[in-house]
Amino acid sequence: MKLKITTRTLELKHTWTISRGSSDSKTYNFIELEDEGVVGLGEAAHNIRYDESLESIHDFLQEAAALLKDANPAAFFELGLAVNQLGMGQQAAKAAIDIALMDWNAKKLGVPLHRILGLQSNKTPLTSYSIGIDKLEIMQQKIIEARDYPILKIKLGGDDDEAIMHAVREVTNKIIRVDANEGWVDRNEALEKIKWLARMGVEFVEQPMPANRLDDIAWLRQHSPLPLVADEDVKTARDIPALAMAYDGINIKIMKSGGLQEAWRMILLARSLGLKIMLGCMVESSLGISAAAQLSPLVDWADLDGNLLIRNDPFQGASVKAGKIILPNATGVGVQPMM
């Protein structure tokens, strides 16, 4: 297998702000895995939150290239494990390789990837559409522009939460999911906010408090009127058993898990522990999103909107119609480069 690494800059339609910070563009590593004339595509939407950078991902990919050079891409299960063992972390790099391997295999067999997994394209869920933190008038404008999406995800976790929710409710009565992105530090403060959000018609709250505070989350869950969903607290299957005592659900992202194969294992494990499952994403092109969408018939909630935030998406693939994820018919993860 030949591995080619390129970098691309994704320009965002609006400055993207969450409780951690802001950005106007994202520059990521993208890969092409070529063997026997078939090319598998992968994307590494790295995240500084997990100690990943453009350089650290690039270094990992180069190390993996040596491992993949003489390997058989059809042995994707074994190869995925070997890539995982190259080192701790750098999950986005592992994800890029796994996406490319799965894309390659489904293309080689001439079918869309979800067919290999035994999933039906008509079983995809609705996706929420995320509204980043902004001036209240701009958030309201974004909500009005998101008229095609029946479910919205609102980013909170700062000092303006109440003003934001009032502004949101002024312009919409849609289902609202809230992501605090670790923003509420005190559990009593978190509980007060959650009780108030329940009265504002919110469906659930994602990562209300900083990661690694499972005792506080377990306490919060005992008192919370809303389900609590882990995001920053969960990366791979290894994290899940401990979370089942504290959370109602988990947000799986292929860029955190290290790819589709680990996300699949996480879905099976989370189900066996009675957890609800959300499939989320980073800001990603349609390549990463279309790969994740292949697993979406398996989950309760989807938040696969990262590509919708980009002005210059380099790929075309999965789409959204009236909020429902539409899987492409094409082979592999189903993306075509945009000319």
What's the min distance (Å) between Cβ of 118 and Mg ion? Answer: 28
Residues contacting Mg ion: total by CB under 5 A? 3
Please report, as residue ranges, which positions from 31 to 60 form the binding site for Mg ion (by CB under 5 A). Answer: none
> Is residue 182 at the binding interface for Mg ion, with CB under 5 A as the rule?
no
Q: Which stretch binds Mg ion (CB under 5 A): 66-74, 131-139, 160-168, 203-211?
A: 203-211
What's the min distance (Å) between Cβ of 301 and Mg ion? Answer: 12
Tokens (6 digits) for 252: 């799986």
Tokens (6 digits) for 179: 């992501």
Q: Whose structure tokens read 């295999």?
A: 105
What whole-number distance in Å separates Cα of residue 302 and Cα of residue 323? 10
What's the min distance (Å) between Cβ of 207 and Mg ion? Answer: 6
User: In terms of CB distance, is 80 or 132 closer to Mg ion?
Assistant: 132
105: CB partners within 8 A, 6+ apart = 40, 73, 74, 76, 113, 116
- The CB-nearest residue to Mg ion is 231
What's the min distance (Å) between Cβ of 87 and Mg ion? Answer: 25
> Is residue 179 at the binding interface for Mg ion, with CB under 5 A as the rule?
yes
133: CB partners within 8 A, 6+ apart = 17, 18, 19, 139, 155, 156, 158, 160, 164
Residue 223, number of CB atoms within 10 A of its CB = 12
> Is residue 231 at the binding interface for Mg ion, with CB under 5 A as the rule?
yes
> Is residue 313 at the binding interface for Mg ion, with CB under 5 A as the rule?
no
What's the min distance (Å) between Cβ of 155 and Mg ion? Answer: 8
Annotate 310-331 with b (16+ C-beta within 10 A) or e (fewer). beebbbbbbbbeebebebbebb
Is residue 192 within a helix (H) or strand (E), and if so which, with residue range? Answer: helix 187-199
DSSP string, 225-261: SS-EEESTT--SGGGHHHHTTT-SEEEE-HHHHTSHH
Q: Which stretch binds Mg ion (CB under 5 A): 72-80, 140-148, 178-186, 218-226?
A: 178-186
User: In terms of CB distance, is 52 or 231 closer to Mg ion?
Assistant: 231
Residue of 56, 59, 61, 25 lying closest to 43 (CA atoms):
61
User: In terms of CB distance, is 231 or 248 closer to Mg ion?
Assistant: 231
Residue of 37, 28, 101 lying closest to 64 (CA atoms):
101
> Is residue 303 at the binding interface for Mg ion, with CB under 5 A as the rule?
no
What's the min distance (Å) between Cβ of 112 and Mg ion? Answer: 28
What's the min distance (Å) between Cβ of 53 and Mg ion? Answer: 20
Q: Which stretch binds Mg ion (CB under 5 A): 20-28, 88-96, 198-206, 209-217?
A: 198-206
User: In terms of CB distance, is 167 or 279 closer to Mg ion?
Assistant: 279
Is residue 154 within a helix (H) or strand (E), and if so which, with residue range? Answer: strand 151-155
**Structural contact between residues 250 and 230, judged by C-beta atoms closer than 8 angstroms:** yes
User: In terms of CB distance, is 112 or 157 closer to Mg ion?
Assistant: 157
What's the min distance (Å) between Cβ of 232 and Mg ion? Answer: 7
Binding site residues, Mg ion, CB under 5 A: 179, 206, 231
